[in-house]
């Protein structure tokens, strides 16, 4: 193995470490991420209880993964804006509000996906 190949492998492993640190940071420090994780766990447990199909799991995991990822991007945008300025600026507010709006929009879409998948199954159980 050449030293260049070894250095590339080290950088790749190091980048995974940075990513893990970022995930850990947002999970430990962000209330909204904790809420998303609890809801995700409830959704997964409900999906196991209702024996979702492979296609239904695909949509559920896309919704969960997208939601968690978007929450992380929102947090990163908030942190960068806070790093750049600690004073009120309309563009800083816009950046934060737009990122939060993206999270809200995806959350609404995720709830709709959940309703489409879970509601008929739960209605069958209840009737």
Q: Is 9 exposed, middle or buried (0-12, 13-18, 19+ CB in 10 A)?
A: exposed
Is 7 or 92 the better-scoring residue by pLDDT? 92
56 assigned to a ligand binding site: no
Which has the closest alpha carbon to 116: 27, 52, 70?
A: 52
Q: Does residue 110 contact residue 63 with C-beta atoms inside 8 Å? A: yes
Domains in the chain: how many in total?
A: 1
User: Over the stretch 64-106, which tens digit does the pLDDT of each residue have?
Assistant: 999 999 999 999 999 999 999 889 999 999 999 999 999 999 9
- Contact 36/71 with Cβ under 8 angstroms? yes
Range of the domain at 112: 32-126
Q: Does some domain include residue 17?
A: no
CATH of the domain at 109: 1.10.287.3610
Q: Is the pLDDT of residue 22 over 80?
A: yes
* 94 annotated as belonging to a binding site for a ligand: no
Residues noted as catalytic: 71
Determine if residue 8 is labeled as part of a ligand binding site: no
| pTM more than 0.95 | no
25 located within any domain = no
Q: Tell me if 46 sits within 8 A of 118, measured CB to CB.
A: yes
Whether 2 shows a pLDDT value over 70: the answer reads: no
Whether 116 is covered by a domain: the verdict is: yes
Share of the chain above pLDDT 70, in %: 98
């Amino acid at each position: 193995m050449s030293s260049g190949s070894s250095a590339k492998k080290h950088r790749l492993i190091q980048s995974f470490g940075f990513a893990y640190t970022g995930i850990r940071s947002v999970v430990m420090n962000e209330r909204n991420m904790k809420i998303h994780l609890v809801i995700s766990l409830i959704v997964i447990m409900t999906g196991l209880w209702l024996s979702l199909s492979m296609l239904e799991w695909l949509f559920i995991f896309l919704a969960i993964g997208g939601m968690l990822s978007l929450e992380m991007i929102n947090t990163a945008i908030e942190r960068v804006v806070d790093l750049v300025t600690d004073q009120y600026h309309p563009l800083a507010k816009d950046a934060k509000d737009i990122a939060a709006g993206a999270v809200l929009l995806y959350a609404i879409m995720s709830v709709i996906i959940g309703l489409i998948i879970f509601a008929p199954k739960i209605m069958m159980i209840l009737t």
